Amino acid sequence: MDVQSVKQRFGIIGNSPLLNRAIDIAQQVASTDLTVLITGESGTGKEVFPQIIHSQSPRKHGNYIAVNCGAIPEGTIDSELFGHEKGSFTGAHEARKGYFEVANGGTIFLDEVAELPLSTQVRLLRVLESGEFMKVGSSKVIKTDVRVVAATNVDIPQAIEKGKFRQDLFYRLNTVPIYIPPLHERKMDIYLLFRKFAADFAEKYRMPPLQLTDDAIHLLTEYRWPGNVRQLKNITEQISIIEQDKLIDFDTLNMFLPETKGPVLPVLYKGGDNDEHFSERELLYKVLFDMKKDITELKKIVIDILEKGNDDPSLEKSRALLVKHVSEEHFDLMKEPDSDEVKIVNPGIEHHEEKSFHPSEVVEESFSLQEKEKEMIRKSLEKHHGKRKDAASELGISERTLYRKIKEYKIR
């Protein structure tokens, strides 16, 4: 069965090379009994790939059981997976078979496998290595022949470092890794998925299908979609039900897209081959730390001048640095009436006596990040003649965030 046939059978939409690669690997490994670990963000559709593997394997006539490990309480997970004997714990009124016994000869899919308790991970490792397990409350060893496919949206190497996942179990599960790409890595598929969902909901609710304007399509494909396919489907259904006008423009679509969390601060930057990828929060912290460092350095220079005297030759370099670095963000320089002298006023320094010097200009204090942000946005828009896409690219933020900032600051 080729990739396109698999997509049609399992309702997979998209032509991304990463998605096609994942389907191809699933088909290649299906005929073996190798353990498979499927990774990817939440909402990417990882649950479809174990079905692809089982349907094309020699075990396709056996049982297929999907288990959500994160949805089963820790106290009962061992009983669910491996079964228990009568009276083994409170409420165990009769013996029960576990999933590994029921799925003998077939395939078991362990979704959210990283949520398993450490004690259960030990039992699972034994099943994978020897095909043996014991029921809860029993000393009798049971053999099982089960193909295991696991999935997780957790960074397992990081969980191993924190002591939450066994390293030996990770290596045993990760015999064949399959990575499912998130929507922001397959942008070409986003509009295809939207059209499919819009058509489905139009048929379901007996209404015309949604249509998008060009700028709405651009917003749709540039949005990061942290909830991936699940989120896209949910929002498409919301718009289908709520909006009477089925032609959706930029502003309408923008109302349904939730804001990403964390502060947003545009920063002008110049791209390069070795650019570091900072989050918006990290960029804000970097600006604040740099500002604090500059303020500390300038305070030291001012203290030296005040303590040693303005005429001390050893301070010539410090005075030059002070004149060079004094800016709106750091000090308030106040000029005395009828005098060319300028006095430094800084509440953070205890003044024993007033000393003066002669900088070339007078500047005023301003610590407002919002004003700086507004000014940077305005200058970038002027530079690019009002083109939001180019301005957003230069500022290092999304076009949607820039649009929101323009409205917030009432920039024309």
Q: What is the C-alpha separation between 263 and 280, in angstroms, rounded?
A: 7
Q: What is the C-alpha separation between 398 and 266, in angstroms, rounded?
A: 10
Q: What is the CA radius of gyration of the chain?
A: 31
Instruction: Provide the phi-psi class of 43: left if phi over 0, else alpha when psi is between -120 and 50, else beta.
Output: left
| Residues in the chain, overall count | 412
Residue 406, exposed/middle/buried by CB under 10 A (0-12, 13-18, 19+)?
Answer: middle
Give the start-to-end residue ranges of the domains of the chain.
3-181, 193-256, 368-409
* The CATH fold of domain 3-181: Rossmann fold (3.40.50)
Q: What is the C-alpha separation between 103 and 62, in angstroms, rounded?
A: 7
Q: Domain 193-256 has what CATH class?
A: mainly alpha
Partners of 109 in the β-ladder: 66, 149
pLDDT tens by residue, the chain, 412 residues: 789 999 999 999 999 999 999 999 999 999 999 999 999 999 999 999 999 999 999 999 999 999 999 999 988 999 999 999 988 887 778 889 999 999 999 999 999 999 999 999 999 999 999 999 999 999 999 999 999 999 999 999 999 999 999 999 999 999 999 999 999 999 999 999 999 999 999 999 999 999 999 999 999 999 999 999 999 999 999 999 999 999 999 999 999 998 754 444 444 444 444 444 444 555 565 566 667 666 776 667 667 666 666 555 555 555 555 555 544 444 444 444 444 444 444 444 444 444 444 444 444 444 466 777 888 888 888 888 888 888 888 888 888 888 888 888 888 7
Q: Does residue 200 contact residue 149 with C-beta atoms inside 8 Å?
A: no
Token readout for 58 is 């020699």
225 CB-side CA count, 13 A: 29
Q: Has domain 368-409 been given CATH number 1.10.10?
A: yes
pTM above 0.95, yes or no: no
